[in-house]
Amino acid sequence: MTLILGIESSCDDTAIAVVNTDRTILSNRVFSQSDLHADFGGIVPEIAARAHAERLDIVAEAALTEAGVALGDIDLVAVTSGPGLIGGVLSGVMFAKGMAAGADIPLIGVNHLAGHALTPRLTDGLEFPYLMLLVSGGHCQFLAVTGPDEFTRMGGTIDDAPGEAFDKTARLLGLSQPGGPLVQAEAESGDPKRFAFPRPLMDRPGFDMSFSGLKTALRRARDKIVEEKGGITRQDRADLCASFQQAVADVLRKKTARALTAFAAEHGATTIAVAGGVAANTAVRAGLQQAARDAGFTFTAPPLKLCTDNGAMIAWAGWERYRLGQSDDMTLAARPRWPLDKTAAPMLGSGKRGAKA
Amino acid sequence: MLAHAREEMSKGQAERLMPMLSDVSDGFAVDALAVCTGPGNFTGIRIAVAAARGLALSRGIPAVGVSALDSLAPLQGEALVVADARQGRLYSQLFRDGQAVNAPDMLEIDEIAQAAPQCWHIVGHRAEEVAERLASTDWREAPHADLAAIARLAAERIAAGTVERPAPLYLRPADAAVPSEAPPTLLP
């Protein structure tokens, strides 16, 4: 038996899990910070960093207790060492170093995106190669996954991530955060055809997407209603949410269909796996499932607890690296930016911090 | 003091801290950890506090946080302790016989001059400058926290049974603004 402690603190969840290499998850604790950020309409990096630094040990104790193991039983400490909000990543990396050094256990740094991308191997024992759509509040990309350390980015968003667009939509309509579930709930009683929101880049070849124009269109539609009536009715809000959600789902479905065709041409029709909080949206998921059926792919999505940020995926991805003979020492650095595909041309972000994706 | 190391660096603390700790503590059975909780650079303090918490948990030993201002307070007499808060400001706190008299605060140098009793001894960053404003000749420049004092104070707190998990001493709120735009009115 080999046990891995996985530590994740790159965004607004302090998450630690104990995972057995036979794919059993012994514990998976997540200490959410959403209450701390609620008043600010988004995640405040300094608030996140402060909370992580003072919660990591508490969450680790809870994860070990729930798993019923002592630290001495742990064989590997895996930690997200990027990309993400640097204050949180740094706190996690330093805490992991303390744990590993104090208990004399090997340490391994994990790319947060690799954690998401390898999750289907933890949950379903999926074999390589497969197509991964990572769609969350911070990321949106298609990855051809051909090995534990082999990711080819086929395309992705050139501006906002869809989760960000859901959050902004919620903010513009007076709904609270995180916006995804609330926008979906509103959309259930709304008319998805009332507002003709744009489907950007749909006429262009390739798999790149854009979501920032969508929120501008939503704002304009909202402002127009406010100008006419002095506010918005519940039905207006539901219709705005439904029309917005439909636009996101359409873009993701059509771009996914294209990515599936291209992936199949190179690797054959295998499996498409999705991860990230937006994959939990029922309209988005229905569209992706349809695209998978049409292309003859199997569709898989990890359960929501393993789709959003968690420590189990970091533990697993750490194991995938470790069994290839890789590990890190006490000089492991935290990286705010760290594209999974080292060869692809930068798509998003540049300057001294480097490409974001 | 049995062993000691200090390296000046503006970045890279996260990569150097553990190797330095390993070198300094090599050959000793350490019974407790003391960590400076600031006030100072937020990122730097978090690096040390997070590592100390991880080590404390894995070793099953206590970790104790001690402020840089506490570490500079003289054991006898009255003192105004100051530390660099950047942008021309100072962290400051008054002590009597090593015990804090007030809560630490972040002030402009001119505000310190108004707030502090003139007769007190001044210790810390820019101590000479502060002393000039207070017309005092009794000052001692100390650019850094006192590591030996941090260890000694931690040992005293462990002996007294007053140990909590170390937490950074920020003294200023996180830089965050509540959104200015109000949501639309919801019509009935």
pLDDT single digits (tens) A173-211: 999 878 899 999 999 999 999 999 999 888 888 899 999
pLDDT score for A352: 54
Structural domain harbouring B119: 69-141
Are A115 and A8 in contact by the 8 Å Cβ rule? The answer is yes
User: For B174, which of A46, A172, A225 is closest by C-beta distance?
Assistant: A46
Q: Does one domain contain both A230 and A167?
A: yes
Task: Give me the residue from A87, A236, A331 closest to B43, CB to CB.
Answer: A87
Query: Is residue A345 predicted with pLDDT exceeding 90?
Result: no
Provide the number of structural domains found in chain B: 2
| Same domain? A272 vs A160 | yes
In this prediction, residue B81 carries a pLDDT of 95
Q: For A211-253, write each residue's pLDDT tens digit.
A: 999 999 999 999 999 999 999 999 999 999 999 999 999 999 9
A171 and B175 within 8 Å at the Cβ level: the answer is no
Same domain, B124 and B152: no
The parent domain of residue A341 ranges over 3-117+309-355
A180 marked ligand binding residue: yes
Q: What percent of chain A has pLDDT above 70?
A: 96
Interface contact B59, partner A, CB < 8 A: yes
**In a shared domain, residues B137 and B149:** no
Which pLDDT value is given to residue B177? 82
Check whether A356 has a pLDDT greater than 70.
Answer: no
- Cross-chain residue pair B54–A96, CB shorter than 8 Å: yes
CATH number at residue A55: 3.30.420.40
User: Within a domain: residue B52?
Assistant: yes
Q: Does the CB of B161 have a partner CB in chain A at under 8 Å?
A: no
For residue A26, pLDDT beyond 80: yes
Q: What is the pLDDT of residues A148-171, one digit of tens each?
A: 999 999 999 999 999 999 999 999
Query: Do A134 and A153 reside in the same domain of the chain?
Result: yes
Instruction: Please indicate if the annotation marks A112 as binding a ligand.
Output: yes
Measure in Å the smallest separation between the Cα of B35 and chain A Cα atoms: 13
Q: Are residues A298 and A258 in the same domain?
A: yes
DSSP conformational letter for A203: T
Q: How confident is the model at residue A332 (pLDDT cuts 50, 70, 90)?
A: very high
Confirm whether A122 is domain-assigned: no
Q: Does one domain contain both A89 and A145?
A: no
Sign of CA dihedral A2, B47, A119, A38: positive
* B16, B50, B168: residue with CB nearest A95: B50
Could you tell me if B64 and B77 lie in one domain? no
Beta strands in A2-90 (DSSP E): 3-8, 13-20, 25-32, 76-82
pLDDT at A22 over 90: yes
Q: Do B174 and A95 touch (CB under 8 A)?
A: no
pLDDT on residue A40:
84
pTM to 2 decimal places: 0.93
The residues of chain B scoring below 70 in pLDDT are 118
Quick: pLDDT tens for B31-69.
999 999 999 999 999 999 999 999 999 999 999 999 999
Torsion of CA A131, A134, A139, A140, to 10 degrees: 60
Report CB contact under 8 Å: B14, A232.
Answer: no
B35 and B76 part of one domain: no
pLDDT on residue A83: 94
Residue A112 covered by a domain: yes
Q: Does B170 fall in a domain?
A: no
Q: Which residues of A touch B170 (CB under 8 A)?
A: 50
Which has the minimum average pLDDT: A15-29, A30-44, A262-276? A30-44
The two structure tokens encoding residue B28: 């000793």
Domains held by chain A: number: 2
Ligand-binding site membership of A137 (annotated): yes
Residues of B in contact with A87 (CB under 8 A): 42-43, 46
Q: Is residue B176 part of a domain?
A: no
Comparing alpha-carbon positions, the chain B residue that sits nearest to A61 is B57
Check if the beta carbon of residue A70 is closer than 8 Å to that of residue A64: yes
Comparing A347 with B57, the larger pLDDT belongs to B57
